[in-house]
Amino acid sequence: MANLNIDAKAQNTYDAIVIGSGISGGWAAKELTGKGLRTLVLERGRDVRHVTDYPTTMMQPWEFDHRGQLTKEVKDANPIISKCYAFYEGTQQFFVKDAEHPYIQEKPFDWIRGYQVGGKSLMWARQTQRWSDFDFEGPARDGFAVDWPIRYADLAPWYSYVERFAGITGNKDGLDTLPDGEFLPPHEWNCVEKHFQQKVASRYKDRHVIMGRAAHITKPQPVHLQQGRAQCQHRTICERGCPFGGYFSSNSSTIPWAAKTGKMTLRPDSVVHSIIYDEQKVRATGVRIVDANTKQMQEYYARIIFLNAAALNSNLVLLNSTSHRFPNGLGNDSGVLGKYIAFHNYRAGISAQYDGNLDSTTDGRRPNSPYIPRFRNVYKQETDFLRGYAAGFSAGRSSRANQNGIGADLKQNLLNPELGGWYVGSHMMGETIPKETNFVALDSAQKDPFGIPQLKISIAYDDNDDKMVKDYQEQMTEMFTAAGFTNIRVRDDHRNPGLDIHEMGGARMGKDPKTSVLNKWNQLHAVKNVFVTDGSCMTSTSTQNPSLTYMAMTARSADYAVKAMKKGLV
């Protein structure tokens, strides 16, 4: 019996375990297997293979039972996920339904999740901007959270590394607030977007309208062809999964790349219960899972563990990993685990009309749009709120088909719509301030279907966020007016936190183990062989979309981890 147990444990032992297969988990798998480590990738959801498991990707609108719309039954059963812009008949299979993984809202929070191999990388918005030192130095300069233990120079080469592999389109704009990267050719502007860019440039020295930087292949390079990926077709139905691999996802890129090494074992349907800590060895020794189908518990072992379950679930796993040494969660000597959660404020928007350029229109589609980097409080504090916001911007021309007539006349009318005027719009992406009062914790009574404590979420906006919304509306109104736009309308949709799908923090990085959970290499201060490189590691949020930074941090951390293993440091 003893030998059987030893053999069984040996079969379940790897060099590394990666928890999660989304944006950062996929990168951890790629990097660790690429460096020769036998790596087990645990994914709580089902397997989704590139191309073959995208059931709606080639469907035309008329092929859907409900023309792409959600039924009343689906909406009534899923009031939270139905708020997400990307959740519709063609994408339902990739989103977690409200009843599948219950959680407790101490304050209203819309938790948007994707449980499958690839995670949310299948449905993400693909915007990829680097951070600058204005972002990494923000907490120290403005006196909130704790100082980041890294700066832009630490991450810059890793940004380049992941950009070249993932394929990032963009233009070298030369802005100190938004460092340039390794770009493929940028997407095209339309004439009204160019008009707005020129008007803003002529009026403001510190405000810039640039083409968005996005994870789309506009000109495939050899490394993309080696991944089996091709040029983006501009279909703009990315969230259904792209059979061309035109945008970056774990499914099309990092996971199959890791599989090709022969070093990866992928185990879907594995809900992680906790990380196992051995108090005699003073290290984590493995991961305890619940099989999603059999509900049986199973243990796997490894020298190093990468936690990439997505921000709030990584908090959950750490909080649930208790022992005599860590009664309040693994690595939680500081007591800050689960606290200082932040997110992006997307509440505000603005729309208008433009009566110029009526001799021009657009043709085709574009999976991207212009972007306005943060311009408030960059070089000095100039408002009554901390930090600032970035913004998206786009313009398009409306058309209207005459639906009168019968037979050939109706067909002719529908095929020749009349062009209307130009419409323009923008949305805000505001930085929120991490606060101790914004936290997640485990409920002591209620369990999920796998017997794991439910997560309690207590996150809300504050006065700083409200002031930022007001300033965005005022500044954008001024900029729209200067561009000659009319019928300007601002909005604040008062959406709940969470719907931005950019929740971050809870296991923040920092220099001092007394006030942070992770060090500069994304290691738990107190458990050196556990690395956390998803959104939970974020000390602050900046205004940029965060996924590119998760990718770069993961590649950097994996490189360190393998070198540390060889030196016997972990």
Residue 5: pLDDT above 90? Answer: no
The answer to whether the beta carbons of residues 41 and 29 sit under 8 Å apart is yes
Give CA–CA dist 453/210, Å, rounded. Answer: 45
Residue 400: pLDDT above 90? Answer: no
Residue 532's Cα: distance from chain center in Å? 15
Instruction: Band the pLDDT of 2: cuts 50, 70, 90.
Output: low
Count Cβ neighbours within 10 Å for each residue of 339-377 and write b for 16 or more, e otherwise: bbbbbbbbbbbbbbbbeebeeeebeeebbbbbbbbbbbb
- In the chain, what are the domains? 1-169+213-342+438-447+503-569 (3.50.50.60), 190-212+344-431+461-496 (3.30.410)
Residue 183: pLDDT above 80? Answer: yes
At 193 the pLDDT is 98
Residue 4: pLDDT above 80? Answer: no
What does the mean pLDDT of the chain come to?
Answer: 97
pLDDT tens, 219-266?
999 999 999 999 999 999 999 999 999 999 999 999 999 999 999 999
The answer to whether the beta carbons of residues 128 and 545 sit under 8 Å apart is yes
At 104 the pLDDT is 98
pLDDT tens, 8-51?
789 999 999 999 999 999 999 999 999 999 999 999 999 999 99
What residues contact residue 103 under an 8 Å CB cut-off, 6+ apart? 111, 454, 455, 456, 457
Give CA–CA dist 423/398, Å, rounded. Answer: 7
Q: H or E stretch including 467? A: helix 463-482
Residue 1: pLDDT above 60? Answer: no
Identify which of 489, 509, 505 has the alpha carbon closest to the alpha carbon of residue 497: 505
The answer to whether the beta carbons of residues 275 and 318 sit under 8 Å apart is yes
pTM comes to 0.96
Give CA–CA dist 397/421, Å, rounded. Answer: 6
At 513 the pLDDT is 98
The answer to whether the beta carbons of residues 431 and 387 sit under 8 Å apart is yes
Token pair belonging to 275? 């990380």
pLDDT tens, 97-129?
999 999 999 999 999 999 999 999 999 999 999
At 3 the pLDDT is 60
Region 174-179 average pLDDT: 98
Q: 164 vs 417, which has greater pLDDT?
A: 164
